[in-house]
Homo-oligomer: A and B are copies of this chain.
Amino acid sequence: MNDTGNNVNTRRVHELRVDVEEARSVTVAILRMLGASSEEAAQQAELLTEADLRGHPSHGLQRLPVLVERIRNGVVRFGVPTIDWVTAAALKVDGAQGLGPAVAFHAIREIAKRAKQTGVAVGLISDSNHLGMLAPYVQAIAESGQIGIAMTTSEPLVHPYGGRRALIGTNPLAIGIPATPHPFVLDMATSEVSMGRILAHVHRAEPIPLGWALDRNGDATTDPRAAAGGALSPFGAAKGYGLGLAIELLVAVLTQSAVGTSVVGTLDTDQRCNKGDVFICVDPAALRLDDVAATISPFLDEIRSEPSQRPERPASVPGDRSLERRTHALADGVSVPEGLWHEIQAIHQELLDAV
């Protein structure tokens, strides 16, 4: 595995404020020179920069050097996925090793259109690459007036509740529903915290709370370095574990992709990715439903105006804080470790020099 992406994680680094348009255009330029179409490059750049904008750097530009390496190693390819309507409401998508966002948006475009007739349509994706954050996908679906649900799997990072070893992916679930002033967007991994958050504690040499992770022997630890070599804990004890496992099974079965410890290619630089992705679009108009946003928005506003248990942490609606961070980052730039930014610029220059 190429360790250049990790250099930015293993020492305290100065954080730069980078204008998001600059970050996006450099990313697009790199991907274009590596062979991506302009649409593929734009979609991938969008997903990476959206993660940084929303304050989730583990899914942001930090992944670009790994992605570049994967392209150079031939485990990420470009082109149009093969689609097959298995039934009127179910689309199988063979990603042909394509970029995760490009394959996913291709599938979403198809199932969103189909859901207008069938009310509900599912996209079952295999042989595609890392999706990045799920929020932007279901948000796009919700902004178009439909309900979107997304699930995906990853390499095993999470131990079963009561177990000692990482056997299950971080298996996020995202749900987007039309609402005003913006869609309801839930995007949650089923681990207590991300590996990125463990690594952030490594960099700051700060202990982690008990309950976040186990060490490589399967014992509870407060040492972030021990945790990084061990297993993340599921969120919410037995229930969160059950949900993460159910997503692991559903995605594996529905997309005929790998399960458990046989999943590879979501973190490494040289293995063909064998996880799966499931997308669901529901069309309210086709189901003759009442106005969705009008149904739920007053209730969401009621939650937003609730008195809070602690003044410093008001009750909030999932996705609201992420959008606030996004608004600030659009104005102020995204925070990028200096070493990572230099690495991306070096990749860019190297490609320019080779033209």
Contact of A117 among B87, B214, B235, B282 (CB under 8 A): B87
Please determine whether A306 and B165 come into contact, CB atoms closer than 8 angstroms: yes
CB distance from A185 to the nearest CB of B (A): 10
State how many copies of this chain the complex holds.
2
Contact of A120 among B122, B235, B261, B317 (CB under 8 A): B122
Could you tell me the distance between the alpha carbons of A299 and B244 in the complex, rounded to whole angstroms? 14
State the main secondary structure of chain A at its contact with B.
mixed
Could you tell me the distance between the alpha carbons of A296 and B120 in the complex, rounded to whole angstroms? 26
CB-CB under 8 A from A119, the residues of chain B are 86-90, 122
Q: How many residues of A contact B (CB 8 A)?
A: 76
Q: Of all chain B residues, which has the CB nearest A288?
A: B86
CB distance from A57 to the nearest CB of B (A): 19
Query: Of residues 252 to 289 in A, which have CB atoms within 8 Å of B's CB atoms?
Result: 252-254, 256, 259-261, 282, 284, 286-289
- Asked if A290 CB lies within 8 Å of chain B CBs, one says yes
CB distance from A187 to the nearest CB of B (A): 9
Binary contact track A150-179/B, C-beta < 8 Å → 1, others 0: 000000000011111101000001010100
- Asked if A330 CB lies within 8 Å of chain B CBs, one says no
Q: Of all chain B residues, which has the CB nearest A293?
A: B253
Please determine whether A286 and B87 come into contact, CB atoms closer than 8 angstroms: yes
Please determine whether A290 and B256 come into contact, CB atoms closer than 8 angstroms: yes
Please determine whether A308 and B254 come into contact, CB atoms closer than 8 angstroms: no
Query: Of residues 295 to 325 in A, which have CB atoms within 8 Å of B's CB atoms?
Result: 295-296, 299, 302-303, 306-310, 313-318
Could you tell me the distance between the alpha carbons of A88 and B219 in the complex, rounded to whole angstroms? 51
Closest 4 CB pairs of A and B: A236-B236, A163-B315, A87-B119, A90-B119
A87-B286, A175-B250 are known; give 8 further A-B pairs, CB within 8 A. A161-B315, A163-B307, A163-B308, A177-B253, A186-B243, A235-B237, A245-B317, A259-B299
Q: List 8 interface pairs A-B (beta carbons < 8 Å), by A numbering.
A: A162-B309, A163-B307, A186-B246, A219-B309, A235-B240, A254-B289, A256-B290, A256-B295
